[in-house]
Structure 1
Amino acid sequence: MKLGVFTVLYGQLPLEEALDTIAAKGVEAVEIGTGGYPGNKHANPHELLADRTKLEAFREAVASRGLTISAFSCHGNPLHPQAPIAKAFHDDFMATIDLAAELGVPVVNGFSGCPGDHEGAKYPNWPVAPWPNDFQEILDWQWSQKVIPYWKEVGQYAAERNVKIGLELHGGFSVHTPATLLKLREAVGDVIGANLDPSHMWWQGIDPVQAIRILGRENAIHHFHAKDTTIDPVNVHRHGITDMQSYSNMLDRAWQFRTVGYGHDAKTWADIISALRLVGYDYVISIEHEDGLMSIDEGFTKAVQALQPILMKEPLGEMWWV
Structure 2
Amino acid sequence: MKLGVVANALQNKPLAEALIQFRRLGIEYIEPGCGGYAGKAHVNPQKLLQDDVAFASFVEMVRKSGVGISVLSCHGNPVHPNQQMAKAYDRDMRYTVLLAEKLGIDTISCFSGCPGDSKESKYPNWVTCAWPDDYLTILAYQWNDVLIPYWKEFTEFANSHGVTKIALEMHPGFCVYNVYTAHRLRDAVGDAIGVTFDPSHLLWQGIDPVMAIRNLNGMIYNVHAKDVRIDPYNKAVNGVLDTRHYSEELDRSWIFRTVGYGNDIKYWKDIFSALRLIGFDGVISIEHEDSLMNQMEGLEKAVRTLKESMLSKERTGMWWA
If the length of structure 2 is used for normalisation, what is the TM-score?
Answer: 0.98
Counterpart residue number, 2:240: 241
Q: Which structure 2 residues correspond to residues 73-112 of structure 1 after superposition, within 5 A? A: 73-112=73-112
Q: Which structure 2 residues correspond to residues 49-64 of structure 1 after superposition, within 5 A? A: 49-64=49-64
CA distance in 1, matches of 2:295, 2:210: 27
Name the SS of the counterpart of 1:309 in structure 2. Answer: helix
Quote the offset at 1:120 in angstroms: 1.0
Alpha-carbon RMSD across the aligned residues, in angstroms, is 0.9
Counterpart residue number, 2:153: 153
CA distance in 2, matches of 1:240, 1:47: 45
CA distance in 1, matches of 2:320, 2:156: 45
Q: Give the stretch that moved more between structures: 291-300 or 155-164.
A: 155-164
Counterpart residue number, 1:113: 113
CA contact (8 A) 1:155 1:191 kept: yes
Quote the offset at 1:239 in angstroms: 2.8
Counterpart residue number, 1:215: 216
Name the SS of the counterpart of 2:155 in structure 1. Answer: helix
Quote the offset at 1:318 in angstroms: 3.5
CA distance in 2, matches of 1:16, 1:320: 43
CA distance in 2, matches of 1:48, 1:193: 27
Gaps of 5+ in 1: none
Identity percentage over the alignment?
Answer: 50
How many residues are matched?
320
Aligned pair 1:169/2:155, yes or no?
Answer: no
Aligned pair 1:269/2:301, yes or no?
Answer: no
Counterpart residue number, 2:180: 179
Aligned structure 1 segments of 4 or more residues deviating by more than 6 angstroms: none
- The Cα offsets for residues 185-233 of structure 1, whole Å up to 9 and x where unpaired, read as 11111111100100001111101111111002xx000000000001101
What amino acid maps onto 2:29 in structure 1? A
CA distance in 2, matches of 1:40, 1:303: 24
Counterpart residue number, 1:281: 280
Counterpart residue number, 1:294: 293
CA distance in 1, matches of 2:237, 2:205: 16
- The Cα offsets for residues 237-270 of structure 1, whole Å up to 9 and x where unpaired, read as 3332110000000000000000000011001100
CA distance in 2, matches of 1:275, 1:240: 28
CA contact (8 A) 1:45 1:95 kept: yes
CA distance in 1, matches of 2:34, 2:317: 41
Aligned pair 1:258/2:267, yes or no?
Answer: no
Name the SS of the counterpart of 1:125 in structure 2. Answer: coil
Quote the offset at 1:280 in angstroms: 0.4
Name the SS of the counterpart of 1:234 in structure 2. Answer: helix
Quote the offset at 1:158 in angstroms: 1.2
Name the SS of the counterpart of 2:65 in structure 1. Answer: coil
CA contact (8 A) 1:239 1:253 kept: no
CA distance in 1, matches of 2:115, 2:310: 38
What amino acid maps onto 2:7 in structure 1? T
- The Cα offsets for residues 91-136 of structure 1, whole Å up to 9 and x where unpaired, read as 0001000001110122111110000011111111111101001101
CA contact (8 A) 1:6 1:31 kept: yes
What amino acid maps onto 2:4 in structure 1? G
Counterpart residue number, 1:8: 8
CA distance in 2, matches of 1:315, 1:147: 39
Quote the offset at 1:161 in angstroms: 2.1
Quote the offset at 1:309 in angstroms: 1.6
Quote the offset at 1:160 in angstroms: 2.0
Counterpart residue number, 1:25: 25
Name the SS of the counterpart of 2:309 in structure 1. Answer: coil
Counterpart residue number, 1:316: 315
- The Cα offsets for residues 250-298 of structure 1, whole Å up to 9 and x where unpaired, read as 0000000000000110011000000000000010000000001101000
- The Cα offsets for residues 51-85 of structure 1, whole Å up to 9 and x where unpaired, read as 01111111111111111111111101111001001
CA distance in 2, matches of 1:155, 1:180: 17
CA distance in 2, matches of 1:62, 1:179: 38
